[in-house]
């Protein structure tokens, strides 16, 4: 929605770029006017249990009525396996307790089609033929690329329609089979609790009908079924228990590090101590005589440029501890790279010089520069450091290369990309690679990378057909991550005499993740503007007459990658801190200023007011800090209740209001908010990766801490009622945390903290 007085953005450059992309796509692939490919039946056979009858590529029914559902997204603690199963069970009219999750094979029908459209550089207010056409074409490209990708808070958004269609088609097939058995009109039959019901009271269980349904319902497709209206939902919207909880409680859950194929060997690494260093030589004979040691392998050649892993030598042994001890004792000579003297201070200075030069890509520029008597300018500079992912499960991958075929057991967010990388390293065809996607003990974007896959396959090539499990130490992980980029931003705004915001100018500088990720993982060029650098800044929804938001891309010698909430993680800190600064400069209440700026946006205003009601007044000795941010389609307002004890910042409570469209499972969604708050608060209070002499200074949780249980705040969450399709939930609670806390600290101390992590002098 845009108010009648709002300025119309000038987006001519983006219109030209997207129009050219669309035209080029039509010429290149020649299918631009054809409908998108179906996502119901795949070429690969899903690993359904023996005896289960597949009704499509997503659903199979066993004779006992058990329902197998293919989960094409990785489960890394976010509850996606339960949420996706609920979509199928809802339309199938099957009990959720009857559903069993099956990992997806690598097949294009399981591609994440929502990801590319969601990453187009459109403002949420944009509408019309250009946006709709670009999104439609991007979805088609995503379907053709077939990349299985868990990220971008798109899992439920992407599965919302195809999984419901899969359940509805399976239900229609079962009804047709029952109608044939009873010689009845299918329109008169009903379904409930895993059975088809006749009007006279007879029932046929799905398990008894599955084989007949597979034959009788062959011609039924997604276009032949009508999906339920929200008013008819019986599962979606309910706080149902997670399907993965029992196995995680009794120890039955299998993560990547739990893979135990027969004949398993283990590998540990001796990794380069500084950025860009190379192996000059090593003395394998020094460790080959140690207990359990099998081989020593230089695996650096398998890695693409600027991967997190870098150069390294692996030791293969009978146990991981034997491998680790031998790797630590291995004499390795290192050759310094071009970044041996690199420091965090030098990197920030480089960003400052880039901002001084004034170049960059302008994402949004609206209105003309105001000329108002008595107006004054407010300026601020903000910075954020490199951040590691620090997932609880260490980086690992198990690989076997035997008889010209590769098998992977991997905690990965990108199984299709992992398969491509494994094929390249092993020199086999893509069809000769099988991937078993294991549970992930945290991902946060680190498992979007494939450096550990390339290493594991390169090592397995020397294992004489035996499987090898590669496990990094925590120190390896901390010092060889693909980090959240550091960023520097300069903000300026013009205030009128009454404290109204007349103009808003924001320019940031930092690395573009896509420029590194695409070449090293997908073999595609990384060039042009990267929307993630400015997301949360150019697409903000505050009504300001004149806005200019730009980003200067500065190539980073440090490997950078996607980190939970990506660019929103720092742009929200910049933006929401600056709103508070403007309120203070204008002598206005920060909430009152936000309300004024949100006047054309009732959805956002309602979320803000809901969070404030939930928070109530701050207790004595504490202060409330407010932040509101939209990311991944979801609006989150957050009120942080903070106390300061000496120089220590303590967050006691966080009240969150969330508008994420229809909530599939309120329990899981609330857990995601709580997780996001804890993840964001860890970074806000302590997260920082620094470099000196080309080396990462942090090594483990002792110097790169995450929030401990006794430090975690009470998190209270309320969801706004909505019948709109679901939006993202995995990441939107992360961005508002840091600014909400920083704004509360200012209320308590008068100190404006413009750098993360937040530290009081």
DSSP letter for each residue of 238-278: S-PPPTTHHHHHHT---BGGG---TT-EEEEEEE-SSTT-E
pLDDT for 29: 46
**Sheet with 623-631, edge to edge strand ranges:** 623-631, 634-645, 648-659, 714-719
Work out whether the CA dihedral 274, 560, 450, 514 comes out positive or negative: negative
User: 542-565 in b/e burial notation, b at 16+ Cβ within 10 A?
Assistant: bbbbbbbbbbbbbebbbbbbbbbb
Closest CA to 668 of 85, 22, 30: 85
Supply the pTM of this predicted model: 0.94
Confidence of residue 675 (pLDDT cuts 50, 70, 90): very high
Gap between the Cα atoms of 682 and 618, Å rounded:
23
248, pLDDT greater than 70: yes
pLDDT digits (tens, 9 = 90+) for 10-50: 333 333 334 334 434 443 444 456 667 899 999 888 999 99
Average pLDDT, the chain: 93
Task: Tell which CATH architecture fits domain 53-112+150-249.
Answer: 2-Layer Sandwich (3.30)
Gap between the Cα atoms of 107 and 523, Å rounded:
19
The whole-number average pLDDT for the span 203-223 is: 95
The whole-number average pLDDT for the span 293-321 is: 93
6, pLDDT greater than 60: no
pLDDT for 604: 98
Gap between the Cα atoms of 158 and 150, Å rounded:
10
Is 53-112+150-249's fold the same as 564-761's? yes
Q: What is the dihedral of CA 160, 161, 166, 167, to 10 degrees?
A: 60
Copy the structure tokens of residue 424.
């390249």
Strand stretches in 62-173, DSSP E: 67-71, 99-103
Is the CB of residue 408 less than 8 Å from the CB of residue 398? yes
Q: Domain spanning 564-761 has what CATH number?
A: 3.30.365.10
Cis amide prior to 757 (ω within 30 degrees): yes
Quickly count: other Cβ atoms within 10 Å of residue 164's Cβ.
21
User: Which CA distances in Å does 615 have to 67, 593, 639?
Assistant: 43, 18, 6
pLDDT digits (tens, 9 = 90+) for 91-124: 999 999 999 999 999 999 999 999 999 989 898 8
Closest CA to 228 of 163, 184, 287, 278: 163
Three-state secondary structure readout of 66-79: CEEEEECCCCCCCC
Q: Range with the lowest mean pLDDT among 33-42, 323-332, 554-563?
A: 33-42
Our CA angle for 238, 241, 245, nearest 5°, is: 155
What are the residues whose beta carbons fall under 8 Å from the beta carbon of 439, sequence distance 6 or more? 75, 76, 244, 253, 254, 255, 256, 411
Gap between the Cα atoms of 521 and 587, Å rounded:
50
pLDDT for 15: 35
9, pLDDT greater than 60: no
Pairing mode of beta strands 487-495, 501-510? antiparallel
Spell out the domain ranges in the chain: 9-34+113-145, 53-112+150-249, 564-761
Gap between the Cα atoms of 432 and 403, Å rounded:
10
User: DSSP letters of 225-239?
Assistant: --PPPGGG-SSTTS-
Identify the residue whose tokens are 């308590």. 748
Strand (E) or helix (H) holding 134:
helix 129-145
Is the CB of residue 299 less than 8 Å from the CB of residue 458? yes
Q: Range with the lowest mean pLDDT among 514-528, 654-668, 747-761?
A: 514-528
In three-state secondary structure terms, 635 is strand
Closest CA to 160 of 101, 217, 80: 80
The whole-number average pLDDT for the span 576-596 is: 98
pLDDT for 334: 96
The whole-number average pLDDT for the span 442-467 is: 97
596 burial (CB, 10 Å; 0-12 / 13-18 / 19+) is middle
Confidence of residue 304 (pLDDT cuts 50, 70, 90): confident
Is the CB of residue 64 less than 8 Å from the CB of residue 116? no
pLDDT digits (tens, 9 = 90+) for 199-208: 999 999 999 9
The whole-number average pLDDT for the span 216-225 is: 93
């Amino acid at each position: 929605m845009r108010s009648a007085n709002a300025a119309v953005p000038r987006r001519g450059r983006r219109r030209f770029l997207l129009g050219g992309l669309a035209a080029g796509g039509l010429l290149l692939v020649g299918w631009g006017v054809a409908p998108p490919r179906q996502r119901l039946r795949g070429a690969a056979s899903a690993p359904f249990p023996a005896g289960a009858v597949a009704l499509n590529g997503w659903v199979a029914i066993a004779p006992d009525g058990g329902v197998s559902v293919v989960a094409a997204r990785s489960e890394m603690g976010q509850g996606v396996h339960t949420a996706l199963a609920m979509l199928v069970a809802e339309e199938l009219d099957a009990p959720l307790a009857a559903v069993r999750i099956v990992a997806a094979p690598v097949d294009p029908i399981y591609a994440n089609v929502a990801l590319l459209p969601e990453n187009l550089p459109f403002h949420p207010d944009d509408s019309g033929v250009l946006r709709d056409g670009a999104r439609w074409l991007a979805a088609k490209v995503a379907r053709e690329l077939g990349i299985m990708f868990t990220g971008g808070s798109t899992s439920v958004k992407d599965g919302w329609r195809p999984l419901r269609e899969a359940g509805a088609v399976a239900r229609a097939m079962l009804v047709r089979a029952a109608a044939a058995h009873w010689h009845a009109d299918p329109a008169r039959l009903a379904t409930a609790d895993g059975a088809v019901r006749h009007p006279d009271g007879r029932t046929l269980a799905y398990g008894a009908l599955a084989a007949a349904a597979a034959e009788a319902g062959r011609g039924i497709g997604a276009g032949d079924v009508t999906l339920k209206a929200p008013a008819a939902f019986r599962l979606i919207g309910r706080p149902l228990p997670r399907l993965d909880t029992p196995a995680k409680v009794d120890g039955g859950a299998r993560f990547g590090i739990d893979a135990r194929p027969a004949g398993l060997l283990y590998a540990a690494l001796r990794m380069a101590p500084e950025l860009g260093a190379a192996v000059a030589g090593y003395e394998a004979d020094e460790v080959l005589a140690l207990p359990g040691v099998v081989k020593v392998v230089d695996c650096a050649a398998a890695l693409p440029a600027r991967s997190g892993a870098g150069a390294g030598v692996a030791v293969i042994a009978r146990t991981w501890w034997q491998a680790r001890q031998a790797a630590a004792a291995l004499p390795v000579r290192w050759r310094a790279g071009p970044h041996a003297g690199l420091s965090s201070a030098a990197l920030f200075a480089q960003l400052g010089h880039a901002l001084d030069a004034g170049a960059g890509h302008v994402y949004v520029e609206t209105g003309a520069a105001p000329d108002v008597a008595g107006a004054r300018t407010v300026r601020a500079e903000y910075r954020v450091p490199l951040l590691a992912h620090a997932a609880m499960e260490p980086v690992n991958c198990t690989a076997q290369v035997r008889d010209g075929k590769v098998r992977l057991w991997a905690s990965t967010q990108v199984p299709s990309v992992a398969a491509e990388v494994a094929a390249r390293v092993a020199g086999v065809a893509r069809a000769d690679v099988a991937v078993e996607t294991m549970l992930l003990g945290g991902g946060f974007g680190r498992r979007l990378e494939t450096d550990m896959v390339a290493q594991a396959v390169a090592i397995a090539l020397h294992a004489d057909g035996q499987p090898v499990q590669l496990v990094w130490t925590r120190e390896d992980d901390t010092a060889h991550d693909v980090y959240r980029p550091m960023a520097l931003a300069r903000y300026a705004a013009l205030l009128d005499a009454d404290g109204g915001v007349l103009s808003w100018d924001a320019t940031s500088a930092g690395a573009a993740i896509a420029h590194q990720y695409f070449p090293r993982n997908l073999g595609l060029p990384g060039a042009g503007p990267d929307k993630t650098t400015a997301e949360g800044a150019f697409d903000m929804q505050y009504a300001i007459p004149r806005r200019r938001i730009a980003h200067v891309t500065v190539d980073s010698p440090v490997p950078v990658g996607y980190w939970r909430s990506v660019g929103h993680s720092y742009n929200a800190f910049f933006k929401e801190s600056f709103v508070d600064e403007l309120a203070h400069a204008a002598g206005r209440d920060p909430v009152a200023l936000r309300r004024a700026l949100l006047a054309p946006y009732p959805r956002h205003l309602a979320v803000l007011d809901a969070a404030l009601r939930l928070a109530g007044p701050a207790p004595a000795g504490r202060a409330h800090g407010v932040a509101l941010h939209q990311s991944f389609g979801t609006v989150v307002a957050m009120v942080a209740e903070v106390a300061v004890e000496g120089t220590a910042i303590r967050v006691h409570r966080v009240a969150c209001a969330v508008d994420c469209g229809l909530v599939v499972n309120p329990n899981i969604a609330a857990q995601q908010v709580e997780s996001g708050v804890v993840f964001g608060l860890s970074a806000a209070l302590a997260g920082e990766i620094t470099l000196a002499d080309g080396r990462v200074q942090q090594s483990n949780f002792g110097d790169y801490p995450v929030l401990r249980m006794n430090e975690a705040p009470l998190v209270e969450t309320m969801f706004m009622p909505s019948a709109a399709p679901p939006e993202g939930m995995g990441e939107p609670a992360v961005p508002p945390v840091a600014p909400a806390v920083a704004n509360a600290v200012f209320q308590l101390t008068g100190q404006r903290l413009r750098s993360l992590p937040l530290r009081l002098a």
